Amino acid sequence: MPAAHSHDSHHSPRYHETKKTTWVSVWVNLVLTALQIVVGYFGRSQALIADGLHSLSDLIADFLVLYANRKSNRSADVTHPYGHARIETAATFLLGAMLVGLGIGLLWSAGMKLQNPAAIQPVHVSTLYIALLTLAGKELLFRYMIAIAKRLRSQMLVANAWHARSDAASSLVVVIGIGGNLLGFRFLDLIAAVLVAFMIARMGWKMAYQALSELIDTALDEETVRRIRATIETTPGVLGLHELRTRKMGDSGLVDAHILVDPRISVSEGHHIAERARKSVLDQHEVLDVMVHIDPEDDASAKPSAHLPSRDALIQRLQSALRGALPAPERIVLHYLNGRVEAELFLPDDFWRQPESVLRLRDELGVFLQADTIFAAVRLHRAGHHIGA
């Protein structure tokens, strides 16, 4: 197997479909660009030349798409842990900026020539034939590319397809302008050139703006966010969802969610609930990754607990306050809730066989909890058995 083919075989079917579609566009634009510029120049049609430059921008765009498609399909690596999907976005932005510049340049050129109407020349009839051929070719290319783009859900291919449609629309304007010139209204060819230039600049601005919105982490659309929220909230074990953030990443998206779970379940169960919620979103929605943060309470409204002491400091606080009445627990479970701490102490069986020691510890705990500002509750358990306290 040749090396190049071996390399391509590692890419997804989406990559190969995009590559094939883009090469079709390349050849169509290559032929039409050559015809428009050459015939427009010798046929003295400013509008056809402008449309030819528009097709040339399509050709450049096709090579940008080929490059971005290849790079964006690379797997995630150390320096790009979320993958390379935004290469598509950057390519779309560059294409849009290029179209804005091209449109402004053509507007300036046509505007300057309109300053001297007497110098406007009649066009050759061959320019009309090329304009009609271009109109048919661009419309057929658009229909072909948009069908593939929707099937692949490729933002970049959609942008390139609509670029072809904008060419078809501009070619229609060129047909009208050239036809008017041939009928004696010579200025219509330049008016058509102005309209084509405006359409090019407008399309470029729209594409660049959309790409820039993605690059600055614009959220997914409201309907998609609503459906993602519903998916997370209906996951078994999720008691609430109080923070959901999304951002676009190429044709997909990234999701961050804070879910509320029962504060007294184990860490492993909380993790399991989070993984179920994450898998549900990945399976049901077009997203690249989901980060689920587990909360035992709604930290948007509950008192913060970050200022509370660490585990070792809390145990030391208890032992110091209880003056030796507390034996060494076999296990300690701490709950950081609403700005305070609840402790569950699992004490050895030997301790529970000494009623006087149990009563003393309970009395000491009662006094301690009335005055302490950190501990909200301390519950005693027999190691391996819950007996209440």
CATH of the domain spanning 3-215, picked from 3.90.1150.10, 1.10.1060.10, 1.20.1510.10, 3.40.50.720: 1.20.1510.10
Antiparallel, parallel or unpaired: β 340-347 and 331-337: antiparallel
CA 191, 27, 105: angle at the middle one, nearest 5? 30
Contact criterion met (CB below 8 Å) for 322 and 368:
yes
- Mean pLDDT of the 241-258 span: 85
Quickly state the pLDDT bin for 23 (edges 50, 70, 90): confident
Q: CA neighbours within 13 Å on the CB side: how many for 32?
A: 31
Interval 296-354: pLDDT, tens: 888 777 777 888 999 999 999 998 888 778 888 888 999 998 889 999 999 998 899 89
Please tell me if the domain spanning 222-295 has the same topology as the one spanning 311-382: no
Quickly state the pLDDT bin for 388 (edges 50, 70, 90): very low
pLDDT in the model for residue 8: 45
pLDDT in the model for residue 6: 41
CB atoms within 10 A of CB 36: 29
Between CA 257 and CA 291 the distance in angstroms is: 6
**Domain formed by 311-382, architecture:** 2-Layer Sandwich (3.30)
Q: Where are the domains of the chain?
A: 3-215, 222-295, 311-382
CATH of the domain spanning 222-295, picked from 3.30.70.1350, 3.40.190.10, 3.30.160.20, 3.40.50.720: 3.30.70.1350
CB atoms within 10 A of CB 369: 13
Quickly state the pLDDT bin for 5 (edges 50, 70, 90): very low
pLDDT in the model for residue 276: 95
Quickly state the pLDDT bin for 82 (edges 50, 70, 90): low
